[in-house]
Amino acid sequence: MDDRKRNSNETPLSEVIEKLLRAYRLDGKMKELDILAAWPEMMGLAVSNRTKNITIKNKILYLTMDSSVMRDELLHGKQIIIHRINEKAGCELIKDVWFG
């Protein structure tokens, strides 16, 4: 059994990774990727299955839907989408939603 104890000046790996992401300004990109991966969980399978393309650029969520009816429904609820995404991200990740 290893009897070594953690030195007080050692930093947890998760903290080191977080600092690196911030230093290279990748923390926002990682949050974007997390949100894109969580899209089915946040919006449900019906919306997820109709979403053909989803990207985030300059705090705008771009969605391409294969259903005009679904697109119209989401257009009316875009403030809910913005709220869900920002809540999940823990910050203001997006400000608007555009449909294509």
DSSP 25: T
CA-to-CA dists, residue 14 to 21, 28, 38, 93, 96, angstroms: 11, 16, 21, 22, 31
Average pLDDT (25-38) is 81
Tokens of 39: 């899209």
Confidence band for 28, pLDDT divided at 50, 70 and 90: confident
- Domains belonging to the chain, first-starting first, are 13-99 (3.30.300)
Of the two residues 15 and 85, the one the predictor is more confident about is 85
On the question of pLDDT at 91 being above 80, the answer is: yes
